[in-house]
Structure formats: structure tokens, C-alpha cells
Structure 1
Amino acid sequence: MKHIKVVGGHVMGSAHSRSALRTKIHSLCFNLGLPSLFVTINPVDIHSPVALYFAGVDPDLDRVPPEVLRTSYERAQIIATHPVATAKVFNCSIKSILKCLVLGGVLGPTKAYFGTVESQGRGSLHLHLLIWLKHEYTPAQLKENIQNQDFRDILLKYLEDVVKEDLDLLREETDSITNEVVSVCLSTPNPASDDFHRIFCKDVVRLVETSNIHKHSTTCYKYSKGKSDTSKTCRMRMPRVLVKTSNIDLTTGQITMRRSHPWINNFNEWLIIAYRSNMDTKFIWSGNDAKALVYYITDYVTNSTLEFHDIFALAQQGITNSIDNAIEKSRKLVLRCYNMIASQQEVSGVQVASYLMNYDDHYTTHTFRNLFLISIENYLQVELTKARLQEKDVDEERLDDMTTPFDEEQEEDTKQTEEQFLSEPTQTKNGARFVMVNTRLDYQHRSQDLTALCLYDFASHFHTKLIDKSDRHLIKNANGSEGERLDTEGTKMNERYIFETAHSQSSSHIVIKHTNPVVPVLVGPQIPRQQREETRERYSRALLTLFVPRISVHDLCALNQI
């Protein structure tokens, strides 16, 4: 199954490829801290005039008369037969909302977001979004600062501004509302209109009353099967308790927002008016909330439609069909097993259209880069062991026998944790040839001007680049010393550095700084908790490897240090 997972990881839309999103979210949390807001965006495509337009209907998008919209059943028929139009509308609207509203600051100054796309039971798409705001407070610091009255008042004022739980403030600006057309089908109010604020408030009230008021369904009680009707509870926790004024409990840190309606889902007026459908939003107050939401998103996005026993049965069928050639064609065998499993998974037409049109199954502000931490740890551990044995004058033959990787007792485990290399071309005095390179070698033989940089920062801020004509001009004007920084002053070039000559690509590649830092994704076993006695050594080794600048293993610890 491990080999099938590896193959599936390269198949677009597979559960295995989407499981990598979990690692990326964890890496973003590791890089930026815990997220601040959780938002669910759930467009209703059957009520979207834009979706109808992409599906071939030609409505006036500024003024939509009822006769053009047709009935809900007719709209559903049109949308169901045009999955490409639905996928296109979703992708365009989500990108616009993220760029113009989320990064535009309607929820506050934003430094990052990560959203995963999911398909609902009816086949349409929705987005679960984690948002990182531009502040440096940890959950513990926030709870400490709420003891201050001024900070508490500012926090509540912010939350009441971005997360609404009733319509009191908006309803004051509206008059009577008529329902000539389904509210979600109407166009978004024009900000340039003279009476925009009143029209805006009226539109928000209409959208919330038609789309964001909870109604119980079977989904509410899917975790209450077998219970009596009186003991069943709605998993959405509806209806909710009414609260006159927002407050924060200084003892527990619990935030309770003002609420005058028991059935309204949390919403933000700017977001709901943009995509004109139901939504939910939540302020992530504690570390436990953040962990729960990350787990919910990643577990939901990787949920398989097949039961575990079905997966094994299908894999067995794939093996049975080619058992005669299993040894000679092992690669095809694994691929056949995966195809047998994937062929039985349910995928909606909109999802298929989205994948075929090369639309993303997630949206994020950041770029990610894999960092094989465990293999670098193993390498450093072996080097440390060698150095200790050499200090004791152990001969070379015994040295090779005694420097087996520290936690690899079985061959299968060794394969999973051994160092990974890429074969890349380089230019030498004897002509072009291929050499083995990886991030560990790039870091180990980096420029002398980057010696104060730890491995994590190096992977985040720098990457290798093939030397081009402009780079050769800079190298020619350099002093010629080994591993120096190239002079890019007066140019628009990013920082550039020469490798040490010991690097196999020192004559063909240089180190260049990213315009925007990337997020290292730690591939391999997770870093364990510090509190556990049995894994404390691994925890310490991982942190030393990542965050202590080094030239050699001697920079990490003394040879006699345990």
C-alpha cells in the first residue's frame, strides 16, 4: 500500500495527492504560526447568472429579469449539463474574492491564506479557507493580553466588525424587502451608486435571510444515529443562545459574540455579498481550535469514498490479474493496483472538469519546497559517529562497520529514510556530465557569506540557478575568491552567491535569493514532542539540524556530548 500511495501522489485529484495538502498546511503553521480565521465559502451555482452565462444563457448581468432566470429546476438542469461552466465560475469567483477582498483587507491585514476545494453531495464545489492575519500574537499571548481592558475592547470591536451573528446593525438601514427575484440571483450593488450604503445593507439582509439561516436536515444528525429524537443534537449547534453584548470570560478566555437571532450562521457582509451564497466564519482563538480546524479540513479533503476493506479487495484483484509477471513488471503491477482502486472512487462532473481545465484543488498565497529532514538527520548522525570513532583511533574497516544509520534496523526502513538525490547536468573542464545533488549539499557548500544562515532559512530564502550570460559577467568581475557574494548593486537582480568549489555544480550553478520566501515542507516522520522521553533525542536532533547554522557536524554539538 505504501507503493500505491507513492504512485497515487502523482495523480491529479487522487486522495493520495490531496493528502499532501495536510503537510502543506502544517508547514505553513510551522512557518507563520497558527491561523487567525476560518471561512467556508459555499457558492450556489444554480442561482448564479454568471454560471448561466458561461453555460450559454445570455442574461443581462447588471439587471436580471425573472423570465430570463427561469425556474430553479430549469436552472439546475442547465448547470448539471454544463460542469465546465460551473468549474470556470467557481475558479474565477474564488480567485477574485481572495485577491480583491481577502488580500484587500476586509477581514483585516492578511499575510497568508490556504484554502482546500471540496465537492458537495450535489456535485458543486466549495472552499474551506484558513487565513493568517498580520499580527505576532500567539494564542497564549492573546489570552494574557485580554486581561487588559483596552486590548479587550479593541479585540471585541474587531470581531464584531468582521464576524456578524445577527442583522441588527444592518437592518437599521433597510426598508421593506420584496422578493421579486431570488436574492442570490441579483447582481452585487454598485459601489459608485449614490445610495450604496442603504442598497448594500438591504442586499445583505436579503441574502442572509434567504441563504444563511440554518434549517435542520439529516446532515445535522448524521452523528446521532440510533438515538431517540429527543436526545439528538444538531452538530451545527443550532439553535444558539442569544447574547445581548459581546464579552470575554477572563478566567477561561471564552469569547461570546452578540447574537439576537438563534438560527443565523456567522457571516461577513462583504464576503457574502460578493459570492451571494451561504457562508460561515470563525475566529480561531486558541491552539486547540486551530488544531481541530486543520484536522477537520485535511481529514475532510482526504476522505475516501471507498472503505478500507474495499481498497484491499481491489488491490488484490489487480495483483491477481498479473501475478505471472509481478516480479518482472513490479512497477506496472503497482500502477495497475492503483488504477483499480481509483476507478471505483466517486468524482463529481464539476471536479473532473476542474481537473481537466487545470484548475487548482487548493488556493494559497505561498509556494512550497520539500525538505527531506530525516535523511539529513541520518547523514549528520553518521558523520558525528565517524568523528567520535576517529577520535578514538578506530581503524577504517571497523569504522565502516560501526557507522550504520542510527535507527535503521530493517532494509525497508532504510530505504524510506536514506538520503535522496537528484541527477542534474553540470559543466566541467572535461565537458558536460551528470552529478548527484540535493539541498543538503547545497547548504553544506554554500557561500561563506551565508555561513550564519540555518538550514531552514536557507531552504526558505535561496535556491540554485543555472549560470546564464548575465551571471557570467558578474562572476568575471568578482574577486575570484571561493564562495563569495556577487555584486548586483545597481541592478534589478536578486542576491547571488557562488558555491564553494567542493560543490559538484560550482562551475555551472549559483545560489540566488527568492523574491518571495518559500515554505519548506518537512518530508518524512514528523518532529516528535519535546515532552516525550523516548523521542526527546530525535526532537533535539531535528531542531539542531534545522535551526543551528553549521559548516560541519562539529558546529552542532561537542563530540563527547550525548
Structure 2
Amino acid sequence: LFGKLSAYYGTVEEQGRKTLHGHFLVWVDGQLPLHIVRERLMSGDSEFLQELTDYVESAFIGQFMTGSKDEVSARVPQTSEYEDRGIHTILVDKSTIPDGYLDPTLTLPEAPPPEFCNEPEICSCENCLSLLSWWERFKLTVDDILIRSNVHSCYQKRVKKDSSSPGSAEKSKQDKVAKVHFTGKGCLNKDGVCTARFPREVFMKTTVDRETGHINIKKQESSINDVSPTVTAANRCNTDARCLLSGTAVKAVVGYVTDYITKGFLKTHQIFAAMYESFSK
């Protein structure tokens, strides 16, 4: 997918709601030292920049594959948003879902045709036409997953109600606006700034700062992280992937992953609670 690997480093953690979550770093065999990459970018080596750009843009994308976010959102069938209404929350209206439509996050990936020619784009044989048809479905599926799982929406944190404070009734009404997620969790701090750092900066094409050697990879959608389409299609869930082109970024991610690996063990009462829950089922 990214090339022949020389090393990898990662871990899988279990979140509080028992879902698995992975963080991984991979090193590609034959890669240049990052300071050499920076020097060649600063030198104006156009051939090297083009090759690097072609590689990165072939492995990662920062936008949808078949159109804008609004276009994809209009095409993908989705159930209407619901509020936290206790037991009735499970009663989701599916009347807007077309017959025969399958949510890709609930299905397995479709494998590409096993046989095709060297240049399927210009070939009209049955195998190549089958491949091109699969590729169009692949792009639609990736966008379907991205619009469902990867688009970030900012929410306020639910504030505990205080009936004794003046204006609490009005504040309670404001808390029920869609800006408050039904789980009560949110990313906006008290100043209204997104702690997840959205929206991301947009770059309509890949550019390089000749003074610093910093490369801005093409990214046309501000509400999603960079992803690998193949990883998205294979995992059928929220994922993100990006190319780390500085030693600082690599060290930061190594430290981030290490924090998860070295997390303290569960306390005794948590272990027994988990065992009880498991055996009671």
C-alpha cells in the first residue's frame, strides 16, 4: 500500500465503551533521511518534488473522491438525526433509505476483479471494463464511509443544569440545540475554539515553502483528516492516515503511541466489574 516496510510501531487500546482503537507508525524501506528531503525541497529540485507529490497524493487524500462534501452528503442516504429520548432513541426513522441500499460500515469490502490488462483505462476487454466499474463503486463506497464516519462537527459541552441560577430555564433550552451532542460531549472550549483543531487549513494543490522546506500536501476538505482510501474501504470505519515529513512530527506520534502502551493497569475493582459483566452475559 505505501511501499515495502522496514519497521512498524503501534498499539491497540480499548476505550471506555469497550471499542478497539489503534495507533500505528510505519517506516518505508529506502526512504531518505528527513533532513535530506528538506534540503532537496529547499533547493528547488522540481523533479524530486514532483515524484514526492505523486507518491503522497497516490497514497493519501484530504478530500472526497467523487465531489464536494455537500454533493456527497446529498447523495448518501442517511437516517435523520435524533435527540436523546431515553429508550425511544433506538426508534430510528428509516423511511428515507432506498430499498436495496446497504450501509457500507455494516458490510464487508468488495474485492477487485482478479484479472485485467496492464492499461485498463484504455482497454475495452471485459476484464478491464469490470475493473473500471469496480473502481467507480470503490470511490462511491469510500465517500459514503467518509461522510458517515470522518466528518467532524463541532459541539458544545453539555452544562449541568442549575435551577437556582438566574436564566437557568433559558440556558436549559439552549442546551437542547443541535450544537450540543446527545452524549453531552463536545469539542468547543469556553472561548468557542475547537479543541480538535477543526476546521483544518485547505490547500487546493501541493505547495512547498522554499525558505523552510515545509510541504503543504493537497487538501481540499477542511472538516476531515487525511485518509488512505484503501485503509478506509478495508476497515469500513473512521480512520486517518498521513505522511510525516518532519522529525518533530515523528517524535510527537511516537510519544503519543507510547503513552497508550504504557498506560497503567486497571484497578482491581474495575477488573472484577469487567469479569462480572462478561460472565453475566
Bucket of the pairwise TM-score, normalised by the shorter protein: 0.5 to 0.7
User: Is contact 2:109–2:234 with CA below 8 Å preserved after alignment?
Assistant: yes
Q: Distance in 1 between matches of 2:228 and 2:273?
A: 29
- Correspondence list, 1:38-117, <5 A: 106-117=1-12
Q: Deviations over 1:480-508 (max 9, x none)?
A: xxxxxxxxxxxxxxxxxxxxxxxxxxxxx
In the superposition, relative to structure 1, how do residues 281 and 347 fare at CA in structure 2: closer, same or farther (>3 Å)? farther
Gaps of 5+ in 1: 1-105, 307-341, 354-562
Q: Residue 264 of structure 1 aligns with which residue?
A: 224
Report the AA paired with residue 147 of structure 2: E
Q: Deviations over 1:517-554 (max 9, x none)?
A: xxxxxxxxxxxxxxxxxxxxxxxxxxxxxxxxxxxxxx
Q: Distance in 2 between matches of 1:239 and 1:136?
A: 31
User: Is contact 1:118–1:127 with CA below 8 Å preserved after alignment?
Assistant: yes
SS at match of 2:137: helix
In the superposition, relative to structure 1, how do residues 134 and 182 fare at CA in structure 2: closer, same or farther (>3 Å)? same
CA shift at 1:292, angstroms?
0.9
Larger helix share, 1 or 2: 1
Report the AA paired with residue 113 of structure 1: Y
Q: Residue 213 of structure 2 aligns with which residue?
A: 253
- Correspondence list, 1:150-165, <5 A: 150-165=47-62
CA shift at 1:303, angstroms?
2.9
**Pick from 14, 26, 34: which aligns with 1:119?**
14
Report the AA paired with residue 224 of structure 2: I
SS at match of 1:115: strand
In the superposition, relative to structure 1, how do residues 208 and 136 fare at CA in structure 2: closer, same or farther (>3 Å)? closer
Q: Which has the higher contact order (CA 8 A, sep 6+)?
A: 2
- Correspondence list, 1:414-493, <5 A: none
Q: Distance in 2 between matches of 1:116 and 1:220?
A: 26
Q: Residue 189 of structure 1 aligns with which residue?
A: 110
In the superposition, relative to structure 1, how do residues 212 and 111 fare at CA in structure 2: closer, same or farther (>3 Å)? same
Q: Residue 406 of structure 1 aligns with which residue?
A: none
- Correspondence list, 1:205-284, <5 A: 205-217=143-155, 221=187, 224=189, 228-230=190-192, 233-284=193-244
Q: Distance in 2 between matches of 1:273 and 1:142?
A: 30
In the superposition, relative to structure 1, how do residues 182 and 347 fare at CA in structure 2: closer, same or farther (>3 Å)? farther
Q: State the TM-score, normalizing by the size of structure 1.
A: 0.33
CA shift at 1:281, angstroms?
1.1
- Correspondence list, 1:385-404, <5 A: none
Q: Deviations over 1:117-172 (max 9, x none)?
A: 111221111111110101241111111121211111111111111111001x4449
SS at match of 1:114: strand
Q: Deviations over 1:278-318 (max 9, x none)?
A: 01112111111111111111113323378xxxxxxxxxxxx
User: Is contact 2:39–2:213 with CA below 8 Å preserved after alignment?
Assistant: no
**Pick from 131, 136, 139: which aligns with 2:26?**
131
Q: Distance in 2 between matches of 1:121 and 1:209?
A: 25
Q: Distance in 2 between matches of 1:261 and 1:183?
A: 21
Larger strand share, 1 or 2: 1
In the superposition, relative to structure 1, how do residues 348 and 190 fare at CA in structure 2: closer, same or farther (>3 Å)? farther
Q: Which has the larger radius of gyration?
A: 1
CA shift at 1:234, angstroms?
2.4
Q: Distance in 2 between matches of 1:130 and 1:244?
A: 27
Q: Deviations over 1:400-454 (max 9, x none)?
A: xxxxxxxxxxxxxxxxxxxxxxxxxxxxxxxxxxxxxxxxxxxxxxxxxxxxxxx
CA shift at 1:181, angstroms?
3.3
SS at match of 1:279: coil
CA shift at 1:176, angstroms?
4.7
Q: Residue 142 of structure 1 aligns with which residue?
A: 37
* Aligned Cα root-mean-square deviation (Å): 3.0
SS at match of 2:194: coil
Q: Residue 180 of structure 2 aligns with which residue?
A: none
Report the AA paired with residue 208 of structure 1: L
User: Is contact 1:189–1:199 with CA below 8 Å preserved after alignment?
Assistant: no
Q: Residue 315 of structure 1 aligns with which residue?
A: none
Q: Residue 137 of structure 2 aligns with which residue?
A: 199
- Correspondence list, 1:486-525, <5 A: none
Q: Deviations over 1:201-231 (max 9, x none)?
A: 1111111111111123556649x5xxx333x
In the superposition, relative to structure 1, how do residues 287 and 181 fare at CA in structure 2: closer, same or farther (>3 Å)? same
In the superposition, relative to structure 1, how do residues 345 and 295 fare at CA in structure 2: closer, same or farther (>3 Å)? farther
Q: Distance in 2 between matches of 1:154 and 1:189?
A: 30
Same amino acid, percent of matched pairs? 26
Q: Distance in 1 between matches of 2:76 and 2:200?
A: 26
Report the AA paired with residue 52 of structure 2: L
In the superposition, relative to structure 1, how do residues 345 and 181 fare at CA in structure 2: closer, same or farther (>3 Å)? same
Q: Distance in 1 between matches of 2:221 and 2:2?
A: 23
